[in-house]
Amino acid sequence: MEDITEIKNIISQANRILIIQADNPDADSLASALALESILHSMKKEPLLYCGIDMPQYLRYLPGWDRVESQIPKQFDASIIVDTSAKSLLDQLSQSGSESWVASKPVIVLDHHADVQCDIGYANIILNDSSKVSTGELIYDIAKQLDWPMPIESLEYIMTSILADSMGLTTENTSANTYKVMAELVELGADRPKLEEQRRAYNKMEKEIFRYKGRLIERTEIIDDKIALLVIPQDEINTYSPLYNPAPLIQPDHLQTRGVLISIVLKSYDSGRVTGAIRCNYGTPIASKLAKTLGGGGHAYASGFKTENRNINDIKQSVIEKIQELLNEDI
Ligand SMILES: [Mn+2]
């Protein structure tokens, strides 16, 4: 495959390699970035990590998160964008004026959101493979094909990325290849129980968050017996978001409620910004379609969007209407 050869050439000619995450980092993007860092390091390269926003608290169980910088380094030879193909998710890069600097050097995109047509025009190579459950799975395949060294940390990061995006190997796009890769990772020494415990221990909630969760449950609207919808206002974002992200706190419970097909958590900022986290139950793969109608994207069962200068009640209304439409289409 020529793309693979091209990746090999770019990497072999570069020394300082910048690894770029989108402005909405998740466990896959961070673990994939750290896996690449470890691999490149053992190839005697100088990998550098960038993300336009601070790593969210819930990801800080992954050792190495604090090496991710929010500034583009002055000097590097090539870059690898992980886990996104959407230019809109690299907004910080263009706002900081660094986009043309990145674009002036070879750029590789490694992603698995194939429903998103890559619009990063300056990329030299785009590997966007939807058959992979996570970007980490894609990186594993590339590293194997190119015979790159994979230190044990890189294997553990790859395993973390797979477990995160496949929700513990439960999502529909978990493939036979995913299981093969997992088996190989175990054989090579990656310790799944250890990684699970690391995450669980870190993600325990404070008692005030436990109480707060009770309020979120009470406030959740259940519409048509199918749609669980919750709005988080600015004051709660200020008080609780630094301690625990409200969406992952409540969405698993939404989806465990009998009859509920889809969960939406909207964060409403005073500035007029609204962000949405969408999660669906098995059999209702409408998350990405819904997010797209609001300028976002993602996967069939998990997606998100961000809008500016729109009234929260308008957004709520259009989300509900669009879901009703998509559910009707589905049936
Ligand atoms: Mn991903």
CA of 26 to the centre of ligand 1 (A): 7
Least confident of 6-10, 204-208, 277-281: 204-208
CA of 286 to the centre of ligand 1 (A): 17
- Residues measured by CB to lie within 5 Å of ligand 1, the ion: 28, 83, 134, 165
Count structural domains, the chain. Answer: 2
CA of 29 to the centre of ligand 1 (A): 6
Q: Looking at the structure, do residues 158 and 49 belong to the same domain, yes or no?
A: yes
Least confident of 194-208, 211-225, 249-263: 194-208
Q: How confident is the model at residue 115 (pLDDT cuts 50, 70, 90)?
A: confident
Q: Looking at the structure, do residues 36 and 169 belong to the same domain, yes or no?
A: yes
Question: What angle is formed at CA 100 by the lines to CA 113 and CA 2, rounded to 5 degrees?
Answer: 50
Q: Looking at the structure, do residues 190 and 213 belong to the same domain, yes or no?
A: no
pLDDT for 1 equals 53
pLDDT digits (tens, 9 = 90+) for 228-278: 999 999 999 999 988 888 999 999 999 999 999 999 999 999 999 999 999
Which residue range forms the structural domain that includes residue 19?
Answer: 2-200
CA of 138 to the centre of ligand 1 (A): 10
Q: How confident is the model at residue 331 (pLDDT cuts 50, 70, 90)?
A: low
pLDDT for 56 equals 87
Cα distance between residue 203 and residue 94, in whole Å: 33
Q: Looking at the structure, do residues 177 and 299 belong to the same domain, yes or no?
A: no
Final residue in a domain of this structure, among 200, 234, 267: 200
pTM of the entire predicted model = 0.81
Final residue in a domain of this structure, among 167, 200, 233: 200
Distances (CA, A) of 136 to 17, 223, 331: 18, 37, 34
Give the residue among 262, 23, 303, 39 at the shortest CA–CA distance from 165. 303
Q: Where are the beta strands (DSSP E) in 176-258?
A: 221-223, 227-233
Q: Looking at the structure, do residues 19 and 125 belong to the same domain, yes or no?
A: yes
Q: Looking at the structure, do residues 89 and 15 belong to the same domain, yes or no?
A: yes
Do 323 and 227 contact (CB within 8 A), yes or no?
yes
Question: What angle is formed at CA 230 by the lines to CA 228 and CA 231, rounded to 5 degrees?
Answer: 155
CA of 32 to the centre of ligand 1 (A): 9
CA of 108 to the centre of ligand 1 (A): 16
Q: Which residues contact 235 (CB under 8 A, 6 or more apart)?
A: none
CA of 144 to the centre of ligand 1 (A): 19
Neighbouring-strand partners of residue 78? 17
DSSP states along 9-69: HHHHH-SEEEEEE-SS--HHHHHHHHHHHHHHHHTT-EEEEEESSPPPGGGTTSTTGGGEE
Alpha helix segments (H runs only) across the chain = 2-13, 27-42, 91-95, 99-103, 135-145, 152-165, 176-187, 192-202, 207-219, 234-240, 246-255, 287-293, 312-330
CA of 118 to the centre of ligand 1 (A): 14
Q: Looking at the structure, do residues 22 and 115 belong to the same domain, yes or no?
A: yes
The CATH number covering residue 150 comes to 3.90.1640.10
CA of 132 to the centre of ligand 1 (A): 9
Final residue in a domain of this structure, among 137, 165, 200: 200
CA of 165 to the centre of ligand 1 (A): 6
CA of 224 to the centre of ligand 1 (A): 31
| pLDDT of 318 above 60 | yes
Q: What is the mean pLDDT of residues 168-180?
A: 93
CA of 196 to the centre of ligand 1 (A): 18
